[in-house]
Chains A and B, each alone.
Chain A
Amino acid sequence: GAGVSQSPRYKVAKRGQDVALRCDPISGHVSLFWYQQALGQGPEFLTYFQNEAQLDKSGLPSDRFFAERPEGSVSTLKIQRTQQEDSAVYLCASSLVPGQDTQYFGPGTRLTVL
């Protein structure tokens, strides 16, 4: 079946622009995660949803970052007034049930802020 999909795959933004990144999890997966991966680093946790509820947003680096999953399926990560340090790959992952279940990652969105 289809895996996790993300769009766009690549995004170039000018500093100060707002961007919106989309994640389509595997159908039926309850849990959805966003991670940020800087060049040469491992992914860093941003936020977690269980269905439509955002249960953990402790990893969001600033109030310019906002995520939602209004109907418990598709999720959007929005970054306002982008800065150069926001340049990274943004990975979405989903898992069937909460807890220690395998997380399946999407291909990521590579954001470059000029």
Chain B
Amino acid sequence: RKEVEQDPGPFNVPEGATVAFNCTYSNSASQSFFWYRQDCRKEPKLLMSVYSSGNEDGRFTAQLNRASQYISLLIRDSKLSDSATYLCVVTRSNDYKLSFGAGTTVTVRA
């Protein structure tokens, strides 16, 4: 079983719609959680960290559920520029490497 699992999608949504998706992680010792965004044939870029209390960054809301070991990302008022692959990332305590899911593809159509 992979350490981080994501629904690959694709999620095809119209502009202005809300889209949400989850990822699950298997290691209960996971300490830090992130969403990265990766555009086609580009490098991953940090979108936002995910905190236990949940956090927002503009149209993006991230939630963490430690008991069920899942992380969610919600995008409100989708823009064409939100089309990308969203990578769920976890790290373990005292471990610097990032463990990535395979990514969820979102396509926003006009």
Min Cβ gap A90→B in Å is 11
Min Cβ gap A6→B in Å is 9
Q: How many residues of A contact B (CB 8 A)?
A: 24
In the bound complex, CA of A59 to CA of B88 (Å)? 19
Chain B residue nearest to A44 in the complex (CB)? B100
Q: Across the interface, which residues of A come within 8 angstroms of B45, CB to CB?
A: 105
| Chain A residues in the interface with B (C-beta under 8 A) | 31, 33, 35, 40-45, 48, 56, 59, 91, 93, 95, 98-100, 102-103, 105-108
| Chain B residues in the interface with A (C-beta under 8 A) | 4, 31-32, 42-46, 87, 91, 96-103
Instruction: Provide 18 A-B residue pairs closer than 8 Å at the C-beta atoms, listed in order of the A residue.
Output: A33-B97, A33-B98, A40-B102, A41-B102, A42-B4, A43-B44, A45-B99, A48-B97, A56-B96, A56-B97, A98-B96, A100-B31, A100-B91, A102-B46, A105-B43, A106-B43, A107-B42, A107-B43
